[in-house]
Amino acid sequence: MISIGVLASGRGTNLGAIIKAIEKGKIAGKVSIVISDNRNAFALKRAKQHNIETQYIDFKVFKSREDCDKKIIEYLKEKGVELVVLAGYMRILSPYFIETYKNKIMNIHPAFLPSFPGLHAQRQAIERGVKFSGCTVHFVDEEIDSGPIILQKKVRVKDNDTEESLAERILKVEHQIYPRAIQLFCRGRLIIKEGKVFIK
């Protein structure tokens, strides 16, 4: 059983999908802890509903991002976390964090990377007029939304889509591919070579 630590800032629907997949036996791992920088994140409630340990981390009490990340790492280490899953976590990780969990941090982005990194990816897709967008699960490196790509799935953009309607359809697909990517990791099937992920 791989011990998974989830970092989330918001509603945590991806966290919900991951928990569900674990409960159905589709992931050979367990969520040991959910950490949030937002005291009121619904993600924390979700975790508690499933008897998962939670921690709130108050950024304001730390001198630097690294100090704060060190605290988070302490929580993760206590739970023997081997995979860190970012699920709507709105803070940038320090290089120290990324180095500590090198190739062991995953993120999901609501666009078909490398198109539309950063915030408001769905709005960027609508504004650019692409016919397809989608979502991407990738490992996290020092740059934003740029690490080795694990899984991607396309979503068609309709003529009458709004940012919200597109986001909603992409989210459904996120809930399919994030648990799948995590399972591949837990099964030891992800090999990273020269910045690319190969699935064994």
Residues that bind ligand GRF (CB under 6 A): 8, 10-14, 87-88, 108-110, 171, 174
Please report how close the Cβ of residue 106 comes to ligand GRF at its closest, in angstroms. 11
The structure tokens 């629907």 sit at 13
Is 175 annotated in the active site?
A: no
Catalytic pick from 109, 120, 138, 175? 109
Whether the CA torsion 77, 79, 85, 86 is positive or negative: it is negative
CB of 17 to ligand GRF, least distance (A): 8
Spell out where the chain has E strands: 2-7, 29-36, 53-56, 83-86, 105-109, 132-139, 149-156, 190-193, 196-199
The nearer residue to ligand GRF, 132 or 198, going by C-beta atoms, is: 132
H or E segment to which residue 74 belongs: helix 65-78
State the minimum distance, in angstroms, from the CB of residue 108 to ligand GRF.
4
Please state whether 113 falls in left (phi above 0), alpha (psi between -120 and 50) or beta: beta
Cβ at position 42, least distance to ligand GRF in Å? 8
Tally of CA atoms within 13 A in the half-sphere of 62 that contains its CB: 13
Tell me whether residue 10 or residue 148 sits nearer to ligand GRF (CB atom).
Answer: 10
Backbone Cα Rg of the chain = 16
In terms of CB distance, is 15 or 61 closer to ligand GRF?
Answer: 15
**Nearest residue to ligand GRF on Cβ basis:** 88
Nearer to ligand GRF, 87 or 190 (CB): 87
| Nearest Cα residue to 175 out of 135, 147, 121 | 135
Catalytic residue positions? 109
